[in-house]
Structure 1
């Protein structure tokens, strides 16, 4: 059993959760989804590893499937139908508000989105936290928040989150209604000024950070060395940091440097990355994902790993000097990729 816990922000400030959350995307948004029973055992392992009364944050999406459908939610529906006692043991965050694969935070689309999510999820588990997958640049954030508050008051969900927002947008949104969590990408190879500002602003406002892809989409674990290690059809092959063996070979330097430190600490490279992300503040909750119970338990152990100031200094020195080739997505700027609005 792991012992480290965290408290959520905003309107969920009374909710105690595990120090690490668990992302479910890789269970279904993959060329070969894992069997139900394997996924069920993975989710159960994550929940059962926590102390009594502490909830595991599960992170899903309306479009987490190869066809951009509700496959991930349908998987959860089958899980809760088989293990209904786990509904109260989990805090479920779901991203939605997407239309034609882009953000649409009109009240009409947000309502259609959460209704579709709940329909796929079924009657046993209600969405705890709903977050638009991206900020809609066509609608002022204040209006987007008003739309979300309307749906919250209708009983569609209990808490509001944002995803890939910048610090100014987060502050403006929080002024309308308390934001419980901001989901942003944070890892040793994705830690720039925008991440730093959002983390700092969230701390000031009492908002949790859900730090997704804390393992660099698997690259920082040391398990991916070339394109042949990624199956055909995997979305990572469209991302610039995974597109060519030349780029991956260049970026391997940060993996080797982090592994050297993890060997000294006596943990895995994944655990080192997760512990470093968690060290950014008690409000920062690493959000790794896996469909394997053994990997999930390994990840969760990082919540109890406290890095020394010397270890943190070494990791920070690597991050500051690393020259990473490729951007976070498709060769676009964050603005072009609808990030950091």
Structure 2
């Protein structure tokens, strides 16, 4: 597995990580034992970045990751997030995005306990709190770095001007946003341009389009009742049926190369620059091994051009985000 520098502050990670949101049931029922084995198998395959958040499973995501990493903690980069929604100590959501300094300090202590660790390698503000200047939030985060409780800082789903302000307060190592052949607005909204100008790494979550680009989602009716994808506009029936045209085109190119659609989609993300990281999520070792194999798929220039032109040739229907994600692009 290729290792890359995550920004310019000193953090290093595997180019491909593991997104841990689905390990506790966000996309349907999950087998906890298999989730633990998936994390451990990822380490065996050279994956070092494991990305979770406090509200994934109401703390259960952090706790599962902490158990899975027992005895292996020093070999990995633990990334977690705070403030996407305000939570009490019982894991109940009691408010929206919260970036108040006192909440930042309480959240990091809670995550340290949940993860059973003495430091967090990469700590993200999950969503910007519109009531709190980002300078106040990152002032508190900078203090956590100085105290050794956090090593490096990140921020998720923000506009370029917010990236600049946060980075000026306490240096960022990573910006995390959705990015894939299914969601390419980071190329045109100034985010990628800004992180590259400032020497910040870019972590692409949902690089498989929340599983859509694998070809495994052919109908909205196939999604479990508790599957979060049901709230996303691109997965609504009228949109999903039309968006399958993109999946068909990707599948044709993948077949010609002798790789799976998932591997092709991941290889495309990783080929966009050595400052970009992909964190596909999966709940099984089988899919994990398929995803990790994508890191060794080399795409030639004609293939990259063909994939790049898809955004112009295939119209996508529906917004990539849900109206419920109120803190996005703060």
TM-score by length of 1: 0.89
Distance of 1:238 and 1:199 partners within structure 2: 27
Correspondent of 2:181 among 182, 188, 201: 188
Per-residue CA deviations over 1:111-133 (Å, capped at 9, x if unaligned) read: 1111111122224x632111111
Query: Which residue in the other structure is 1:279 paired with?
Result: 271
Q: CA deviation at 1:232?
A: 1.0
Q: CA deviation at 1:44?
A: 1.5
Distance of 1:265 and 1:22 partners within structure 2: 25
Gaps of 5+ in 1: none
Distance of 2:140 and 2:187 partners within structure 1: 26
RMSD over aligned CA atoms reads 1.8
Q: CA deviation at 1:30?
A: 2.9
Distance of 1:317 and 1:36 partners within structure 2: 40
Query: Which residue in the other structure is 2:10 paired with?
Result: 12
Distance of 1:248 and 1:32 partners within structure 2: 19
Q: CA deviation at 1:149?
A: 0.6
Q: CA deviation at 1:101?
A: 4.7
Query: Which residue in the other structure is 1:94 paired with?
Result: 80
Query: Which residue in the other structure is 2:101 paired with?
Result: 107
Query: Which residue in the other structure is 1:38 paired with?
Result: 34
With over 3 angstroms needed to count, the CA separation of the structure-2 counterparts of 1:201 and 1:272, relative to structure 1, is: same
Q: CA deviation at 1:264?
A: 1.4
With over 3 angstroms needed to count, the CA separation of the structure-2 counterparts of 1:319 and 1:60, relative to structure 1, is: same
Match of 2:119, SS? coil
Q: CA deviation at 1:32?
A: 5.0
Q: Where do residues 16-95 of structure 1 align in structure 2 (5 Å cutoff)?
A: 17-30=13-26, 32-50=28-46, 56-65=48-57, 69-80=58-69, 83-84=70-71, 86-95=72-81
Query: Which residue in the other structure is 2:261 paired with?
Result: 269
Per-residue CA deviations over 1:17-63 (Å, capped at 9, x if unaligned) read: 2110110110114375433321122112111112xxxx610000100
- Quick check: 2:123–2:153 contact (8 Å CA) kept in 1? yes
Q: CA deviation at 1:196?
A: 5.6
Distance of 1:295 and 1:22 partners within structure 2: 11
Match of 1:61, SS? coil
Distance of 2:62 and 2:261 partners within structure 1: 31
Match of 2:120, SS? coil
TM-score by length of 2: 0.92
- Quick check: 1:10–1:178 contact (8 Å CA) kept in 2? no
1:225 aligns with 2:218: yes
Distance of 1:269 and 1:23 partners within structure 2: 19
Q: CA deviation at 1:193?
A: 5.1
Correspondent of 2:111 among 117, 126, 132: 117
Q: Where do residues 141-220 of structure 1 align in structure 2 (5 Å cutoff)?
A: 141-192=134-185, 197-220=190-213
1:337 aligns with 2:323: no
Gaps of 5+ in 2: 87-93
With over 3 angstroms needed to count, the CA separation of the structure-2 counterparts of 1:193 and 1:121, relative to structure 1, is: closer
What is the number of residues matched between the two proteins?
322
Query: Which residue in the other structure is 1:131 paired with?
Result: 124
- Quick check: 2:187–2:193 contact (8 Å CA) kept in 1? no
- Quick check: 1:58–1:90 contact (8 Å CA) kept in 2? yes
Per-residue CA deviations over 1:222-247 (Å, capped at 9, x if unaligned) read: 00111222111111111111122x32
